[in-house]
């Protein structure tokens, strides 16, 4: 039965994940594997492919005090720079949106505006920027700072960063590049706007030396769930990535973020909220459970603990009995909302430190589904029709087999139920997501 409202889907790309699983092909080096991944997601009519990122070797090595064995088992140390990857993937895909993280804390707005505008042109309107403020001191130390900027300051800088980037994207009117052979006029000077921005964090004259992006602005995604993160999303974002494990909490998050939009003159539907699902599929539930157990048991205690160390406010959890409860944690300067969620999960399910660490190492903090394609479609339908999300971010535990299984079994089931598209609706990412073109502030 066809419904008018259909869910949006993102394929989440991250370092290799459970690379020891049979058939796993890590995507951290080979371009061909990333092409296969993008084309598989496009075959499944996904709205977009999203590369998460941080500009540092993941903290696991430093946090383990340089423990070589923990480093040896970490599959998160090397990766390809994602904006370069998006540009390359734009040439071998036609429909799928291409989204990557770039931090506002360790970048300059001019470079970011220029790069995403370029990717939007190369892909003919399929680019997206996941605007994050970074979580780790490891990044700070690669960018001439000793410590990570304070959470509140990071978000103030992010707000101004967004204003400058979008101001630069408005440098030229949509029709300012005229290339009129008859008159010899390449540019219409009336279509030029110089930003002349001077603020607390940035001083940027402009204009940008790239024409206005095909989508007006590339898609803006936001993934912070703290109060300033939600406010930034309500003001700026087209897409929100979020980790939600409880349908009730997902409902209040959804209502809260959408409820903040009206004061910025935005309609609730202009923003798509897409919680993550870490999924493990099998022909039967027991086959899926067996695969899940293989993955969860493959990490060592040290490796699993390292994955939650930042969220534990950098408290060394090894000093506590690992089969005992989670102690009180100092506040985290990394991901405030995620820390609260982790503490609540431990309390709700009465998880020991060891079990919590293993769960988080696998789930990355997201909802986990282990079972059959039909069961996963049921769960997605339940959340979607309950009105607690606009779609989902699918976190394949490794590549490419689980994503291929999703595309070949879950997507047709969702399509059969009328919950997901059978063809792309438009040519740009904005059109497919159903979010408005962003007009220039000068029109
Ligand atoms: C699905 C998802 C993807 C994320 N991707 C990144 C990323 O690529 N890089 C990054 O630094 N942070 C990433 N984050 C973290 C958030 O951007 C944010 O920094 C973090 O949640 C802390 O913000 P908060 O304190 O506002 O919650 C991601 C979060 C989620 C839920």
**CA 312 vs CA 4, 71, 139, 159: distances in Å:** 43, 20, 18, 27
Q: Has residue 30 got a pLDDT over 90?
A: no
Mean model confidence pLDDT for the chain: 93
Count Cβ atoms below 10 Å from residue 371 Cβ, excluding itself: 20
Atom 6 of ligand 1: nearest residue by CA position: 52
Model confidence band, residue 345 (pLDDT cutoffs 50, 70, 90): confident
Q: What mean pLDDT comes out for the span 377-385?
A: 98
CATH of the domain at 226: 3.20.20.30
Share of the chain above pLDDT 90, in %: 73
More confident residue, 243 or 66: 243
Mutation choice for ligand 1 from 107, 135, 367, CB with most ligand atoms inside 8 A: 135
Atom 11 of ligand 1: nearest residue by CA position: 134
Q: What mean pLDDT comes out for the span 375-402?
A: 97
Task: Give residue 223 CA to ligand 1 midpoint distance, Å.
Answer: 5
The predicted-structure confidence for 266-275, as pLDDT tens digits, reads as follows 999 999 999 9
More confident residue, 222 or 301: 222
**Tokens at residue 165, please?**
């980037």
Which ligand 1 atom lies nearest to the CA of residue 227? Answer: 26
Give pLDDT, residue 2: 44
Q: Has residue 403 got a pLDDT over 80?
A: yes
Give pLDDT, residue 1: 43
Which ligand 1 atom lies nearest to the CA of residue 230? Answer: 26
Q: Which residues line ligand 1 (CB under 6 A)?
A: 52-54, 101, 103, 130, 132-135, 223-226, 229, 241-243, 276, 335-338, 393
Count Cβ atoms below 10 Å from residue 205 Cβ, excluding itself: 10
Q: 438 in a domain, yes or no?
A: no
Model confidence band, residue 309 (pLDDT cutoffs 50, 70, 90): confident
Q: 371 in a domain, yes or no?
A: no
Model confidence band, residue 235 (pLDDT cutoffs 50, 70, 90): very high
What total number of domains does the chain contain?
Answer: 1
Domain limits for position 231: 8-283+392-433
Q: 332 in a domain, yes or no?
A: no
Share of the chain above pLDDT 70, in %: 97
Q: 304 in a domain, yes or no?
A: no
Q: 70 in a domain, yes or no?
A: yes
**CA 426 vs CA 127, 376, 397, 430, 436: distances in Å:** 14, 27, 30, 8, 12
Q: What mean pLDDT comes out for the span 411-421?
A: 98
Identify which of 59, 56, 82, 81 has the alpha carbon closest to the alpha carbon of residue 70. Answer: 59
Which ligand 1 atom lies nearest to the CA of residue 134? Answer: 11
The predicted-structure confidence for 116-139, as pLDDT tens digits, reads as follows 999 999 999 999 999 999 987 788
Q: What one-character DSSP code corresponds to residue 25?
A: -
More confident residue, 376 or 74: 376
The predicted-structure confidence for 39-93, as pLDDT tens digits, reads as follows 999 999 999 999 999 998 876 566 656 677 777 777 778 889 999 999 999 999 9
> 160 φ, ψ to 5°?
-70, -35
| Range of weakest confidence among 56-65, 99-108, 173-182, 294-303 | 56-65
Q: 341 in a domain, yes or no?
A: no
The predicted-structure confidence for 11-25, as pLDDT tens digits, reads as follows 999 877 888 899 999
Give pLDDT, residue 300: 83
Task: Give residue 175 CA to ligand 1 midpoint distance, Å.
Answer: 36
Q: What mean pLDDT comes out for the span 191-211?
A: 98
Q: 313 in a domain, yes or no?
A: no
| Range of weakest confidence among 7-16, 189-198, 213-222 | 7-16
More confident residue, 424 or 246: 424
**Tokens at residue 377, please?**
């479609």
Give pLDDT, residue 46: 98
Task: Give residue 121 CA to ligand 1 midpoint distance, Å.
Answer: 26
Atom 9 of ligand 1: nearest residue by CA position: 53
Q: 121 in a domain, yes or no?
A: yes
Give pLDDT, residue 65: 64
| Range of weakest confidence among 34-48, 196-210, 287-301 | 287-301
């Amino acid at each position: 039965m066809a419904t008018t409202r259909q869910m949006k889907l993102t394929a989440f790309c991250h370092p290799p994940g459970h690379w020891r699983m049979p058939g796993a092909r890590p995507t951290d080096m080979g371009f061909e594997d990333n092409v296969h991944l993008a084309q598989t997601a496009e075959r499944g009519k996904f709205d977009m492919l999203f590369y998460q990122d941080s500009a540092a070797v993941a903290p696991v090595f430093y946090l383990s005090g340089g423990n070589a064995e923990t480093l040896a088992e970490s599959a998160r140390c090397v990766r390809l720079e994602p904006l370069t990857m998006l540009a390359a993937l734009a040439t071998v895909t036609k429909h799928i949106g291409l989204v990557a993280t770039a931090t506002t804390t360790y970048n300059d707005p001019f470079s970011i505006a220029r790069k995403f505008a370029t990717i939007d042109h190369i892909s003919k309107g399929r680019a997206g920027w996941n605007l994050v403020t970074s979580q780790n001191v490891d990044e700070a130390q690669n960018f001439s700072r000793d410590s990570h900027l304070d959470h509140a300051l990071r978000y103030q800088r992010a707000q101004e960063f967004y204003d400058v980037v979008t101001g630069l994207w408005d440098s030229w009117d949509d029709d300012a590049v005229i290339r009129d052979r008859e008159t010899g006029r390449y540019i219409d000077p009336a279509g030029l706007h110089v930003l002349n921005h001077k603020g607390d964090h940035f001083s940027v004259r402009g204009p940008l030396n790239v024409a206005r992006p095909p989508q007006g602005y590339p898609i803006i995604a936001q993934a912070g769930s703290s109060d300033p993160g939600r406010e930034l999303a309500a003001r700026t974002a087209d897409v929100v990535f979020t980790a939600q494990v409880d349908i009730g909490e997902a409902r209040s998050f959804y209502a809260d973020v959408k409820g903040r939009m009206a004061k910025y003159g935005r309609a609730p539907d202009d923003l798509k909220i897409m919680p993550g699902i870490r999924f493990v599929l099998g022909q039967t539930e027991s086959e899926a459970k067996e695969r899940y157990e293989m993955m969860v048991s493959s990490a060592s205690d040290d490796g699993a603990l390292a994955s939650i160390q930042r969220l534990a406010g950098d408290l060394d959890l090894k000093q506590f009995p690992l089969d005992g409860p989670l102690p009180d944690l100092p506040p985290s300067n990394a991901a405030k909302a995620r820390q609260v969620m982790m503490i609540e999960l431990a309390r709700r399910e009465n998880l020991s430190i060891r079990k919590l660490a293993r769960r988080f190492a696998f789930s990355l903090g997201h909802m986990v589904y282990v079972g059959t394609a039909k069961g996963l479609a049921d769960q997605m339908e339940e959340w979607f029709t309950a009105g607690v999300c606009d779609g989902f971010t699918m976190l394949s535990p490794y590549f490419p087999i689980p994503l291929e299984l999703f595309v070949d079994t879950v997507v047709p089931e969702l399509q059969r139920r009328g919950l997901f598209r059978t063809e792309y609706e438009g040519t740009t990412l904005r059109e497919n997501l159903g979010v408005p073109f962003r007009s220039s502030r000068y029109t």
